[in-house]
Structure 1
């Protein structure tokens, strides 16, 4: 099992891209209970909105490194400036 993926991360999966290695977890709308700000578009992710939680896959990442993204923003992140 890849580092950073296991029972403590929920249903997370490893993902690699030109911007590095990440751990990505899907948050269903029913489990989204807080407001977050997406770093991709700088808009709110409102409670009840399905989204992703993403953090660096290296072992130096901490809870403070986790970011909540809209799925489309995460998928388009390498095309943004």
Structure 2
């Protein structure tokens, strides 16, 4: 049976907060580089060390960075996602 108690989260007279798309999508966005569309996602930390394809230096475990992959490939979206790479934020930007 539903509760008759009103929610205290947001009063009825208050406007709802606008949706924060970056937070809702985990920081995922689409960018165009050299005529190709890329999906880019910010990562706050990771459990593994990766090698940045931009500078060929390690992206240490726990370091904030970005993951990028082509939005589409000849073999489909799943293949494009499988080819994703971890970049230092400064190397991608």
* Structure (1/2) with the larger strand percentage: 1
- Aligned mates of 2:33, 2:50 — CA distance in 1: 24
Aligned residues: 66
* TM-superposed deviation, 1:19: 4.7
Range 11-20 or range 51-60, more displaced: 11-20
- In structure 1, what is the equivalent of residue 28 of structure 2? 12
Find the partner of 2:68 among 54, 72, 80. Answer: 54
Find the partner of 1:41 among 31, 39, 55. Answer: 55
Task: Could you tell me which runs of 5 or more consecutive residues in structure 2 were left unpaired when the two chains were aligned.
Answer: 1-23
RMSD: 2.0
Deviations along 1:1-21, whole A, 9 cap, x unmatched?
xxxxxx9x7441111122511
Larger-Rg structure: 2
TM-score scaled by structure 2? 0.62
Aligned residue for 2:61, secondary structure, equals: coil
- In structure 2, what is the equivalent of residue 25 of structure 1? 41
- In structure 2, what is the equivalent of residue 4 of structure 1? none
- Aligned mates of 1:36, 1:74 — CA distance in 2: 14
TM-score scaled by structure 1? 0.70
Aligned residue for 1:33, secondary structure, equals: coil
* Structure (1/2) with the larger helix percentage: 1
